[in-house]
Structure formats: structure tokens, C-alpha cells
Structure 1
Amino acid sequence: MSAAVIRYQTAPESAEENQRLIENVFAELATAAPAGLRYSSFRLADGVTFVHVVDGEGLPELAAFQEFQRELGDRLAGNLTREKTTLIGSYAGAVATTRT
């Protein structure tokens, strides 16, 4: 899997459920710890826009991620966009990484 940025809006009544399902993915990631996977998810200030940044393998195999995707189409208010990306750099605390 190449790095990707996924962005979408949910219906207002689905935003909390969407966040709960994403939190379940992170809970499973904490125990499964797939090697080489980088995954971040953000809920924007409007409360209904979500952005996911994923780089690496292993996310689709997680039961919580499969559950998140199961009815995603029903939660959406519009189209989902997915863009391939190239990592320029990343910083997490005292650890900076760059790809060339």
C-alpha cells in the first residue's frame, strides 16, 4: 500500500459513531502493532469532516477497521476522496524521519 490521504464528510448524526469506530481501530492497533504501519486520523473543526493518513500495510486486516468500513457509505454525506502521497518528512516528539 502506498501512502494515502483519505478525506470525507459524514452526516452530522453519524459523526460521533464514525469517531467511535475510528477509536476502536486505534485500540486494536495498540495491541496488534502491525510493523511498518503509520496511521493517523483527524476530525476537523466542522465536526463532520474526517481525514485519515495511512502509510504501510496491515490496516485492512484488522477486525475493527473492517467494522469501520462495513457501513461507511451509510455514514457519508458526499464523496470520499483518496489521494496517493509522497512522504517528505515526519516528526513525532524527539524522533524526526524523512524519506528520500
Structure 2
Amino acid sequence: MHVMIRWKVKPDQVERELESLRAVYEDMRAIRPEGLRYATFQLDDGVTFVDVAEMTGGPGVLRQVAAFQDYRATLDERCDEPPAVTVLRQVGAYRFP
């Protein structure tokens, strides 16, 4: 399963968002959950973020990442636009995992 998640945080919450995301990735590197490939991008406007994830075992793999659970529990209070999830169906790729 490949998904894209897009959300927008309040301008005064950008630094808090970045700190929270750093904690999530630190936890992921420590735990190394099987079946998970995950990347987060900050768009040019500085307040919009996009995740691209591959979860071979489904989204339940994120339950292993405690920092992600903490992050998600507080995300709504930082958002101007809540996360929108889109399932991606790959039709081609070149050197893209």
C-alpha cells in the first residue's frame, strides 16, 4: 500500500511540527519497523507538508512507532488543514523505491 498524506499547519506551529517530525523519524530509525518506508516533505510555502509512505503490511505498522502515536494525537491542534490521505497506485517509476 502506497499513500500520500497532505496537511497544512498554522504558521506559528511550524517549528513545533518540525520538532515533532524529527522525534518520529528518530523513533523509526531506532525501531526499524518492517514493511515501512516513509518520507516527509515540506513544501515551498513552509506550512504545507506531504508524507509518502509504503506500508507492505498496511497502516497498522505505524502502531509500533510510539513517537508517531504521540505526534498524531496532537496534530489536529497544529493544523490549519487536517491531513488528507490519498491511496497511490504506481504506474511507473525510475530509481524510486
Normalising by structure 2, we get a TM-score of 0.84
* Secondary structure at 2:80 match in 1: coil
More helix by share: 2
Distance of 2:16 and 2:94 partners within structure 1? 29
Normalising by structure 1, we get a TM-score of: 0.82
Give the equivalent residue in structure 2 for 1:30: 29
The separation in 1 between residues aligned to 2:72 and 2:82, in whole angstroms, is: 14
Partners of 1:68 and 1:35 lie apart in 2 by 20
- Computed over aligned residues only, the root mean square deviation of the Cα atoms, in angstroms, reads 1.6
| Uncovered stretches (5+) of structure 1, i.e. residues with no partner | none
- Structure 2 gap segments, 5+ residues each: none
Which consecutive aligned stretches of 4+ in structure 1 deviate over 4 angstroms post-superposition?
none
How many percent of aligned residue pairs carry the same amino acid?
28
- 1:81 equivalenced with 2:84 (yes/no): yes
Shift of residue 10, structure 1, vs aligned partner: 0.3
The change in CA–CA distance for 1:90 and 1:70 in structure 2 (over 3 A counts) is: farther
Matches within 5 A, 1:56-71: 56=55, 57=57, 58-71=61-74
